[in-house]
């Protein structure tokens, strides 16, 4: 029986208890009145006995509920063993205290009757037991006070932004152990979150500082009067490229922030996925033809429910990555297959590949597998994060298989029926 059910039962019992109390008070008055009949007095006594019996049952039931706990489950075997052990410990302590009282009174050699001596031993034993418990409890309270102070200090440090907090195990039972574990887990999670925030700020600052440094440096060079027209055009092109890169970084960051907010518009509608992929592959024709890549496609006609605009960003990013990291004369393959109630899109290239160490981090924001943060590397490390977020919004998944020098294969699985899911 849980807390709500007990509260409901108590509410239903209140009217009956009120009626029983009123009946009991009425019969008590009848019993005290001088003209009350013997039958009335007998019925009043029966009512009082019934009231006392009901109170005993309620007390026993309340104690049983307290032992069972809020979830209404019977006490476990370990709890029963602990209760029995505690009772044996108390009885043993009382026996020791009574024994000590017996020897104390016996050593005084008082000439008193055996009954008085027995009563004196009993009272003195309880006094010794109470004093012992008082002394022992002082040490327990001191330890408990130290634990409270540890918890308060830890919470103060967390409130001030210091998340490197770890409270040692108090050993005060599973309740206190749960509190210690909860605070330690909270501090660890907040510490990881703070580390991610600082890393994010560092990455953003680096990505913004690089194009700004280039723009500022080449702008100063343009102030020189002895530059040839060709050099001037070259520096202006670099400034323009860096400006575009900075704009793209800002756009990707805003897009990710919008996707993370769960307020980004999501309009699912039936779309021909094979037609969408075909259109985007043709739109990238200048890029893959410029590098003399062998582009091959194999599409199965398929219709799925999805947000067309969001999904197009996934395919564009995958195609651009495959083209960018594939050397001239390489191959890029795009497949659309059907697997049960899922659409499977695979983009495979013969590019430089990704190491096993980097595969674990490629979906992290601002992560770059080539470890170079130069203009020639291109990109900001946000493309795959955007891909993963959009695919998760559609209820799908994205995975990667790659090895250095063996190319990369990106696989996207999407349900045919629209089922928006919140990403992590």
- Give this prediction's pTM: 0.50
pLDDT surpasses 80 at 31: no
Q: What is the pLDDT of residue 423?
A: 42
pLDDT surpasses 80 at 413: yes
Q: What is the pLDDT of residue 422?
A: 44
Q: By percentage, how much of the chain surpasses pLDDT 90?
A: 7
Q: What is the pLDDT of residue 336?
A: 93
pLDDT surpasses 60 at 378: no
- Asked whether 384 and 366 are in contact (CB, 8 A), the reply is no
């Amino acid at each position: 029986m849980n807390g709500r059910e007990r509260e409901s039962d108590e509410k239903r019992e209140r009217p009956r208890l009120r009626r029983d109390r009123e009946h009991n008070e009425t019969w008590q008055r009848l019993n005290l009145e001088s003209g009350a009949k013997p039958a009335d007095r007998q019925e009043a006594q029966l009512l009082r006995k019934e009231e006392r019996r009901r109170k005993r049952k309620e007390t026993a039931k309340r104690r049983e509920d307290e032992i069972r706990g809020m979830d209404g489950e019977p006490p476990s075997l370990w709890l029963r063993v602990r209760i029995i052990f505690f009772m044996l410990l108390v009885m043993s302590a009382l026996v020791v205290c009574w024994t000590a009282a017996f020897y104390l009174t016996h050593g005084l050699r008082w000439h008193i009757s055996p009954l008085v001596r027995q009563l004196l031993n009993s009272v003195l034993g309880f006094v010794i037991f109470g004093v012992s418990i008082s002394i022992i409890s002082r040490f327990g309270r001191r330890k408990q006070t130290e634990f409270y102070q540890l918890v308060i200090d830890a919470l103060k440090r967390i409130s001030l932004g210091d998340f490197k907090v770890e409270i040692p195990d108090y050993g005060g039972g599973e309740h206190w152990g749960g509190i210690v574990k909860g605070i330690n887990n909270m501090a660890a999670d907040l510490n990881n979150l703070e580390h991610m925030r600082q890393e994010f700020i560092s990455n953003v600052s680096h990505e913004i500082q690089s194009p700004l440094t280039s723009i500022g440096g080449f702008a100063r060079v343009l102030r020189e009067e002895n530059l040839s027209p060709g050099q001037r055009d070259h520096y202006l092109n670099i400034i323009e490229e860096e400006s575009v890169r900075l704009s793209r970084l800002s756009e990707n960051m805003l897009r990710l922030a919008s996707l993370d907010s769960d307020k980004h518009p999501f309009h699912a509608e039936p779309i021909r996925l094979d037609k969408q992929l075909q259109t985007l592959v043709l739109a990238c024709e200048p890029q893959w033809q410029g590098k003399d890549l062998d582009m091959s496609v194999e599409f199965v006609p398929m219709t799925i429910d999805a947000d067309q605009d969001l999904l197009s960003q996934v395919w564009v990013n995958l195609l651009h990555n495959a083209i960018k990291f594939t050397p001239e004369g390489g191959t890029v393959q795009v497949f659309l297959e059907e697997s049960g109630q899922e659409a499977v899109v695979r983009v495979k290239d013969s590019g430089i590949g990704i190491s096993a160490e980097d595969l674990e981090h490629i979906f992290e924001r601002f992560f770059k597998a080539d470890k170079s943060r130069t203009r020639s590397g291109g990109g900001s490390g946000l493309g795959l994060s955007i891909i993963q977020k959009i695919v998760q919004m559609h209820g799908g998944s994205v995975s990667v298989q790659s090895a250095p020098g063996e190319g990369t294969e990106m696989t996207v699985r999407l349900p045919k029926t629209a089922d928006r899911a919140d990403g992590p």
